[in-house]
Structure 1
Amino acid sequence: MRMGMIVLVAAGVAGCMPSTTRVSAPSSPSAVQPVSPGAKRISYDGSGGYILPDGAVVAADPSGGFTLPNGARVNPDGRGGVVLPNGARCAPDGARGYICP
């Protein structure tokens, strides 16, 4: 009986000890990039369009760009991003969308 109590206490204490082996998950290259303060995200909506920072939804076109609600064209930059009508480049976010300055 006494030996059983010792085993139970030892097992309980061992379960409370922190593990010295740490396993970290590898980062996925396709993980969505965080947006820094002041940046805006153009998100892919999963059905062939993009959700703009103001909530408007626009259709993607075969060239990889899209047309804004005001008629201005957003063109692909050839490096996975797009160029806004004001000349600013939006970088790919890893989830088929873009992060813009």
Structure 2
Amino acid sequence: MRPAAKSTLIRMQQTALQEMERIQITQDALVAVGLLKAPDVGAIERRDDFAGIVRLIDIIQSDAVMIDRLKAGMARAQATRLVAPAAEETEVEPE
């Protein structure tokens, strides 16, 4: 599997919002055509989880301190990724 590509908070939020809406529309349609008597509890919980992600990203984007901390954390993670391959290439001779 390919490693995840870079993303942004806005893209992540839009994706969570779209998935939340997709789940809601699907469940409503299944109930409307009679395939379900009531929306699936697990699907509604996932919809609510995606709604929580949307709200969480709203909170993060509205707080400059949180944004600065995220940027610093991302920079540390990038530095760690650059150092880790070099450490893996070092071979130790068995005794």
TM-score of the aligned structures, taking structure 1 as reference length: 0.20
Between 1 and 2, higher relative CO (CA 8 Å, sep ≥ 6) is seen in: 2
Q: Which has the higher strand share?
A: 1
Q: Which has the higher helix share?
A: 2
Kindly name which structure, 1 or 2, has the bigger radius of gyration based on alpha carbons: 1
